[in-house]
Amino acid sequence: MRAVRGWLRVRPARRHLGPARPGPIPRHLGGHGRRYLGGRGAGRVRRRLPSQGRSFSPLAATADGGSRWSPGVLGAGLARLPGALAAAPGTARLLALLAGGTAELSAPGGARWARLATLGSLARTAAGRRCGLTGLAAASFGPSNAPVLAGTCTHRATAGVFTLSGGTWHLAGPALPASLGAPVRILAVTPAGGAATAVLAAGTGRNVTLLAAWRHGARWALSPPLPLGGAQVRSVSAGPGGATGIMLNGRAAVTVAGPGASWQWLPFLPPGSQTLAFGPGARVAALAAAGSTFTGWTWAPGSAAWAKVQTLHVPIQYGSSA
């Protein structure tokens, strides 16, 4: 998700885009900086990127959908990536990618942190050499809450999804068609119980091809390849059943409903749209946040245009938290 000023609140699935009333935001998360959310369902963690010269990242975790928050601090700056923070379902353990290319794993609730891997150490493993790993892009958790790191592979037809098992990193991504170009970048990995959805981009320039991949157990399924023709990915969204939404530059967007489905282009997005969401049913929502104003639009299959459904002004106390 692209960073925006102000809060973009994410809560458990609702039947409509109605007003939400999350609990008070912890004071150490106030002030300037950019905020992101990690995790799914009721257990989530809110993070803020360092600003004003800070060398740490304030965190807040919730286990009840946002009614109560507990504070925490990561003693380093998080990477400026939407997938830089993940929460393990049911355990409140956190996995973070730091700005310097290090991955750290926390105790439950983010109370204590320990180094898990660095870009260099992962690239030197057998799995990293097979990939030709050059960068880390996302953190996640796999089956049995095993840590998962994802990044960019310079070797053709190699997806850089790594899982830690028995103290050893293994390549765990989908098998890709040999016709795809290189490098292969992992744009997002979203876990959902024993399954996961990944979005990949292969190639460079006007030859980039986009794919979605779905994992159930140890098996992966791939979407049809989608040539982007030079368009650039602005945000990636995940929905129920493996639904995936991609926002591109030029107010373009495309979705795929899940395994076995084809890509579907949406009408041009409303101005200012920053990310997509799914539901209820087959509807798609476009969301925007500017300052303290949140705006939502919806689109239903067969419609020619988006319909504005909500404008919400969220009280935010601006100022330094120092």
Which CATH number covers residue 141?
A: 2.130.10.10
**Residues whose CB falls within 8 Å of the CB of residue 245, separated by 6 or more in sequence, listed in order:** 236, 237, 238, 239, 253, 254, 255, 276, 277, 278, 284
Q: In terms of C-beta density within 10 A (0-12 exposed, 13-18 middle, 19 or more buried), how is residue 42 classed?
A: middle
Task: Give domain status of residue 113, yes or no.
Answer: yes
Q: Does 308 or 80 have the greater pLDDT score?
A: 308
Closest by CA to 43, choosing from 93, 80, 114, is 93
Please give the C-alpha separations between residue 251 and each of 140, 232, 233, 239, 287, in angstroms, as whole numbers: 29, 11, 11, 20, 13
Q: What's the pLDDT at 217?
A: 82
Q: What is the pTM of this model?
A: 0.76
**Structure confidence by residue, pLDDT tens digits, 279-317:** 999 999 999 999 889 999 999 999 999 999 999 998 877
Q: In terms of C-beta density within 10 A (0-12 exposed, 13-18 middle, 19 or more buried), how is residue 41 classed?
A: middle
Residue 261: CB atoms within 10 A of its CB come to 16
Q: Does 225 or 61 have the greater pLDDT score?
A: 225
pLDDT at 51 > cutoff 80: no
Buried-exposed string 108-131: b where 16+ CB fall within 10 A, e elsewhere: ebbeebeebbbbeebbebebbeeb
Q: Which residues pair with 62 in a beta bridge?
A: 44
pLDDT at 255 > cutoff 60: yes
Task: Give domain status of residue 208, yes or no.
Answer: yes
pLDDT at 114 > cutoff 60: yes
Please give the C-alpha separations between residue 39 and each of 30, 95, 223, 258, 264, in angstroms, as whole numbers: 21, 10, 24, 20, 27
Q: Out of 30-39, 52-61, 218-227, which region has the weakest mean confidence (pLDDT)? A: 30-39
Q: Which amino acid type is present at position 209?
A: T
Q: What's the pLDDT at 37?
A: 44
Task: Give domain status of residue 305, yes or no.
Answer: no
Residue 98 lies in domain = 27-232
Alpha-carbon gap, residue 263 to 226, rounded angstroms: 8
User: Which tokens belong to 2?
Assistant: 């692209």
| Most confident among 10-14, 20-24, 151-155 (mean pLDDT) | 151-155
Q: What's the pLDDT at 314?
A: 83
Task: Give domain status of residue 198, yes or no.
Answer: yes
Task: Give domain status of residue 10, yes or no.
Answer: no
Closest by CA to 85, choosing from 149, 29, 143, 25, is 149
Give the pLDDT band of residue 209 (cuts 50, 70, 90). very high
Task: Give domain status of residue 216, yes or no.
Answer: yes
Strand 102-106 to 94-97 pairing:
antiparallel
Q: Cβ distance 267 to 304 under 8 Å?
A: yes
pLDDT at 16 > cutoff 60: no
Task: Give domain status of residue 95, yes or no.
Answer: yes
Task: Give domain status of residue 159, yes or no.
Answer: yes
Q: What's the pLDDT at 286?
A: 97
User: Which tokens belong to 163?
Assistant: 């899982």
Give how many domains the chain has, as a whole number.
Answer: 1
Distance of CA 276 to the CA centre of its chain: 12
Q: What's the pLDDT at 97?
A: 93
Alpha-carbon gap, residue 178 to 266, rounded angstroms: 29
